[in-house]
Each structure stands twice: as structure tokens, then as C-alpha cells.
Amino acid sequence: MTRSIIRVSAVMAILLLAVIANITYIQVFKADEYRNASGNARAILQEYSRERGPILVGRQAVAKSVETSGDLKYQREYTSPEPYAPVTGFYSQVYGATGIERAENSVLSGTDDRLLFDRLQQLFAGRDPQGGAVTLGINASAQAAAFNGLGGRKGAVAAIAPKTGQLLALAQSPSFDPNNLASNNSKEVTRYYNSLIDDPNQPLLNRPLVSTNPPGSVFKVVTAAAALESGRFNPQSSVPCPAKYRLPGTSTDIGNAFSGDLGSISLTEALTVSCNTAFAWLANQLGDDAMRAQAEAFGFGTSFEVPMPSAAGRYPENPDAAQTAITGYGQGDVQTTALNMAQVAAAIANSGLTMAPYLVTEISGPDLKVLDTTTPESFQQAMSPDNARDLTAMMVSVVQSGTGSNGQIPGVRVAGKTGTAETTEGAANTTWFIAFAPADNPEVAVAVVLEEGGGGGNSSSGPIARSVMEAILGR
């Protein structure tokens, strides 16, 4: 009898241990998986029962939570939806989250470790839990200027504070209304989301960060930087600017946007008039290794977390001499984003130092008490301060007396460069404008790209860049 009791007890003990082990496994190792499962209605109800923290620009909320009378207690509301969509992203019960809503979800939902003290205070006080606040470095006037300047044309704008890397504007067109994805009506959300997915212009694509395009002539500033850094060239160095340039090893000639043979001109003049043949020749003189190294020092080849990940600009691997020549004026397999070209302009403005871009400036508790601030970080010294100063003067010449006249701001010295890139056969050109101002003590660097915008960079993209700079400078 005693032996039977012992056996039963042993079996019960084993079963108890198995139950404890299973509970431990679920609670410790599988909890996050089960909690985040798309079909977990309980998790969704719990998440929407808390007041999610705001996303702030200055002291104004561009995203906040509002109470509802439905099954979900709170719903996300976006106060300036389309202009800020590439920044805020969306927060949806059906499709999850994107943008800052996703990247800073732990803060906004209140689960971040930095909010532990706030959670304890809320618990002991018997208050409903609240999320923390995320403050962005976006300049509201510059964001509005960028979005309005795009005017519905497909493209993107990125603006950076050169000395810190703080993002001042990230705008795109076409955009979308995140309010329509935050609705508690899942059928309406699904209908709207499908319309965005079916749109050939891809409004859900975060164009400033991930849409890559050939840079065209704005890449000439990278070629010019490589030339200056080589020690073989200075702003007064003579370079050939013939009407045609034969690509090495081929029977193909490339030409310029203007007619005529300018003969030998200075490197400054070549940039001012945007001479393709001069920069094709120059790229061959420098070689693809030097060109690639210079591009990478400006951020090409690196995906930056802003905190959303950006696409890495691309300089081709192992191009032949003809392909290298084409990269000298930003064609061929060179690809870049608006963010990356804004970084190029910002690095030149910042004495040659490329900064890591960032969007979030502060993390705060529910009471808006600041818990954390972003410290600017350098990425790489792209060129010497002396060479950066020389390249700045060359870019000022572009705006004052060259192809970039639409970047001019009365009373302000502006440094800039235009770009017009050929894309697929039969498609309109992609146009660019990069600039920074004031040239002597820069406060803003900007890049504007219009995909298949047609025309030239000065006429189409230039006015947008100018309006963004004017907004930052208070003009």
C-alpha cells in the first residue's frame, strides 16, 4: 500500500514538474511570440486600452490617441496626416505600424525600460497606464514648404542640420492619410490599404528614405570632392570640356546639355556650367576605387537608422573604364536617395564631416518630463576642411552664375548643384537640386528629387529647395 502511494506521488510530482516547465516555457520563451501574434485579439484589446503617447513636432502633437466609444478604447489621430506620413507612419489594428509609430513603439506604448518609474507611479496611483512622448527634430515650416512644394508631383525632400545630422524635413508625394488606417472599422481600413497597394505611384513607399534614383549631375560634387582629395586637382585646375567625350574602350560618345566645345576650363567652371564631358574625363583620371571611397565617405553603401532604416546609396562594384566615366556625372549604376544626397550637401557644409542622420531629439514620460536626448554622432570625415571650403565656393558659383540660379535667396550666399538624370527609355528625366545655406555658416542642407519630373533640376526642383531653406532661415 505504501509502495503504491509512493509511486502515485512520484507520478504526480513528475506531472507537476512538467506543468511548471511548460508554463515557464510559455511565459519566458514564447510570451512575446504569442503576445504579438496577428490573431491575438486579447493583445490588441489590451494595447488599445492604453493611451498611446504622442509624437511631437515642437510642442504640437502630429500623432495622438483619442478616446472612442467602440470596442477599442483609444484610436490614433493624425493632425497633419499627409505632410507627416513618411515621418509618423501609421498605427493600425489590422496592419500593424510603420515609421516612428513602429520604430519607437516601446516608448509610445509605455513598455520602454526608461518609463519603468512612470509605470510604477501609475500603478500605485491607480491611474490608467500611458505611453511616453517622442519629440522629432522636424521644423514644421520646412516640412510644410517641402510638402507644398512637391505639389502632388512624385518625389521627395530631405533636409538636414549640417552640424548635427538632425533631420529638419522628410516629405514625399504622393502621400497617404494614416487616419484612414488607424480607424476602428477594419473593413474601411482594409479597403483603403488595398487602394494604396494598388496605386502604381506607391504612396506607402517612404520616398525620402528608401526610394533610389540615379543622381545625375548632383553627383558631380562627389566627383569634385574626390578630385580635390586626390591632391592632383584644385578649383583652378584645367580640365577638358569638349562637346563630345568618347567612352574608353567603346565607340560611344557622350555630350553635354549645352552645345559647343569649351576647350580647357577650370574645375570651378566645369561644375558651374555642369560639364558632363569634363566629369567623365575626371572620373577616369581618378579611377573607380577613389570614386567609390569618396562616395562611401559621404554615406553611400550605408543604411542609416534614423530610426527607420534608410536604403543605402550605391556606387557600382568593379566598373570598367567606360562605366567609371559615366559615374562621374551620376549616370550608369549609381543610385541614391534624397536622404543620402542631403547628407552629401550637409557634409560639405560641415567642413567635410558627414554626420549620422537622426529624427528623434527627445524621449519624454507621460508628463513630458525629458528622459533622454539624442547626442549627435559623426559618421566619417569625407574630405578635409580646406577642400570642403573650396568645394563650397565652387557650389556658390553654381548658384550665383551657373545652372543653379533658382537656389538664390536675396541676402544669403547659397551653395548648390542641379541634377538631371536619364532613367528608362521613353520616361521623363528625374530632376535634382541639392543646396545648403548660408554658405559661410550653414544651418540647413537640402536635397529635392522629382522622379520623372521632366525639365531640368534648376527649374523643377530648385524652387522647392529654396523654399525649404527660406523656411529654416525665417525668410
User: Could you list the active site residues?
Assistant: 217
At 294, the amino acid letter reads Q
List the one residue out of 115, 140, 211, 259 whose CA is nearest residue 448: 211
For residue 421, report the phi and psi dihedrals to the nearest 5 degrees. Answer: -110, 135
Contact 88/104 with Cβ under 8 angstroms? no
Strand, coil or helix: 155: strand
If you search the block for the grid coordinates 559661410, which residue do you land on? 440
Secondary structure of residue 165 in the 3-state scheme: coil
Cα(473)–Cα(443) distance, rounded to whole angstroms? 8
- Residue 267's identity, in one-letter code, is L
Q: In whole angstroms, what is the distance from residue 229 CA to residue 259 CA?
A: 30
Catalogue the E-assigned strands of 174-282.
Answer: 238-241, 244-246, 253-255, 263-266
Q: Which of 454, 465, 234 is nearest to 345 (CA)?
A: 465
115 and 109 Cβ atoms separated by less than 8 Å: no
Residue 372's beta-bridge partner residues? 363
Q: How far apart are CA 339 and CA 215, in angstroms?
A: 12
DSSP letter at 27 equals I
How many Å apart are CA 274 and CA 286, to the nearest integer?
Answer: 18
Of the candidates 167, 154, 156, the residue with the CA atom closest to the CA atom of residue 210 = 156
Reported for 322-325, long-range contacts at CB under 8 A and 24+ positions apart, including other chains, are 322/247, 322/248, 322/249, 322/250, 322/252, 323/288, 324/283, 324/284, 324/287, 324/288, 324/291, 325/245, 325/247, 325/248, 325/254, 325/280, 325/281, 325/283, 325/284
SS3 label, residue 111: coil
Is 396 within 8 Å of 345 (Cβ atoms)?
Answer: no
Dihedral (CA of 379, 382, 384, 389) sign: negative
Q: How far is CA 382 from CA 102, 248, 280, 440, in A?
A: 32, 28, 21, 19
